Amino acid sequence: MTRARILPDRALEERLLVRYPLVGGMDEVGRGSLAGPVSVGLAVVSRATPAAFPAGLADSKQLTPRRREALVEPCRAWAVDHAVGHAAPAEIDAVGIIGALRLAGQRALAEVALRGHLPGAIILDGTMNWLRPPTGPAPADAAEQTTAPAAVTPVGPAASVAVASAARPIPSVYTSVKADAHCAVVAAASVLAKVERDALMTALPDPGYDWARNKGYTSPAHIEGLARLGASDQHRRSWHLPGLDRFTARAAGADPAPLRAAAPVQAPTRTVAVADAPAGPAAGRDAHWA
């Protein structure tokens, strides 16, 4: 039995637009992959944004690659502004996945801010506010919030698309469970992030990891590539990389164990203390101030 697709609407973003002239939706992609950047998409809407969002818009995970690609230009045209920020594998190793998500999100915000479109509020998918710096109390207003310390210099292919993170105010943040499915502006951000990151992974020189198909995620071909070739500069070396033990054993002259199919491996995330944000208008559904 096919599960019905959740259709997005604009209810949450329209409530926030009563208070804020610009509202952004953010979503990440690549958080659980073994290689490549983690990417954060941002779409910004205003009170003048057309009520009708692109036909067929949905959470990027519910769409075929062809449909996602077809939605990119309509999403860009519908939004006031948009950006995709990236954090490279070496940055993920240096600051952890939550810190890397923050870097990528800050880079996306910095890009739209340069064009005068910094949103006053952000809707994040999920329950964790990974955009806020991990230390310090929540300020009384978004204008008083500041970014985290200077970012690590981007490395690898992500450097060509990363935007330097400047010291800018962090918008107020709403978190909402499944916002990428039920909130149109977050769904648009998810499509933009997914298509851009997929293109980056497909364009990488590939000595045998099958980037074009697995996009850096766990797959039998990816595990076999790690067993034969070891880890590349695109791999998150602080993570457990299935198959790498066979390569290491071979390099040490030991007899490697037979390759076994492995389940997708998610790196352990660091616990981040997130203070409560100021009281705001009722957000509806599962949304809450974060």
Annotated binding-site residue? 28: yes
Per-residue pLDDT of the chain (290 residues), as tens digits, is 456 667 899 999 999 999 999 999 999 999 999 999 999 999 999 999 999 999 999 999 999 999 999 999 999 999 999 999 999 999 999 999 999 999 999 999 999 999 999 999 999 998 999 998 876 544 333 322 223 322 333 433 334 334 344 445 679 999 999 999 999 999 999 999 999 999 999 999 999 999 999 999 999 999 999 999 999 999 999 999 999 999 999 888 765 555 444 444 444 443 333 333 333 444 444 444 44
Predicted structure pTM score:
0.78
Domain 11-201+269-289: assigned CATH number: 3.30.420.10
Specify whether the CB–CB gap between 120 and 23 falls below 8 A: yes
Check residue 271 and give its pLDDT. Answer: 32
Residue 157: both structure tokens together: 């292919």
**pLDDT reported for residue 32:** 95
Residue 69 among known ligand-binding residues: no
Q: What confidence score (pLDDT) does residue 254 get?
A: 64
Q: What's CA 71's distance to the chain center, in Å?
A: 18
Decide: 282 and 15 in contact? Cβ < 8 Å: yes
Predicted pLDDT of residue 208: 96
**Alpha-carbon gap, residue 7 to 221, rounded angstroms:** 34
Provide the token pair at 223.
């595990």
Strands of 121-125's sheet in order across = 81-87, 38-46, 22-29, 121-125, 172-176, 288-289
